[in-house]
Structure 1
Amino acid sequence: MPAKPKWAQLAELIRGQIASGELAPGDKLPSTAQLRQEHGVSAGVVRQAILVLQTQGLVEGVHGLGVFVTDNPPTGST
């Protein structure tokens, strides 16, 4: 079975942090640059992971401010 794409791995990691409460509603996610450095991935990988999480309703982007965990993230998904 092929390994998951890096963006899927990163999205899964952040999803887990939200589910565990490590990232609480209203918390700001690290910047793209921070995520790139921490996980050794490209900006495109970070953008794709965030896009997937936005589509799932877990995070929302606020122009000029960053990406935040939504107030009522869906539970029991995956």
Structure 2
Amino acid sequence: MPAKAKWAQLADHIREQIASGQLAPGDKLPSTAQLKDEHGVSAGVVRQAILVLQMQGVVEGVHGVGVFVAERPDGQHQS
């Protein structure tokens, strides 16, 4: 089985930080440059991971401001 794509690994890492409470709703995510350096990936990998998380409703981007943890990330509440 092929290794998971780098963007998917990064998205999983951010999800884990949110689930553990390390990143709370409303918190700003590190910049693309910070994530790139921290994880040793390209800016494209960071953008892809953030895009997927935005589509899933986990984070919200504010143009010119940054990316923030959504107030109610999907999958964080169980019925």
How does the TM-score come out when normalised to structure 2?
0.93
Map of 2:46 onto structure 1: 46
Map of 1:33 onto structure 2: 33
Map of 1:9 onto structure 2: 9
What is the alpha-carbon root mean square deviation over aligned residues? 1.3
Identity %: 78
**Structure 1 alignment gaps of length 5 or more:** none
Aligned partner of residue 47 in structure 2, secondary structure: helix
CA, structure 1 residues 76+67, in 2 after alignment: closer, same or farther (shift >3 Å)?
Answer: closer
* Separation in 2, partners of 1:61, 1:26: 11
* Separation in 2, partners of 1:58, 1:76: 9
Map of 1:69 onto structure 2: 69
* Separation in 2, partners of 1:20, 1:44: 26
Paired residues, number: 77
How does the TM-score come out when normalised to structure 1?
0.94
Q: How far apart are residue 76 of structure 1 and its match?
A: 5.3
Tell me, yes or no, if the aligned pair for 1:33 and 1:43 is still in contact at 8 Å. yes
Q: How far apart are residue 20 of structure 1 and its match?
A: 1.0
Q: How far apart are residue 21 of structure 1 and its match?
A: 0.9
* Separation in 2, partners of 1:21, 1:76: 11
* Separation in 1, partners of 2:18, 2:55: 15
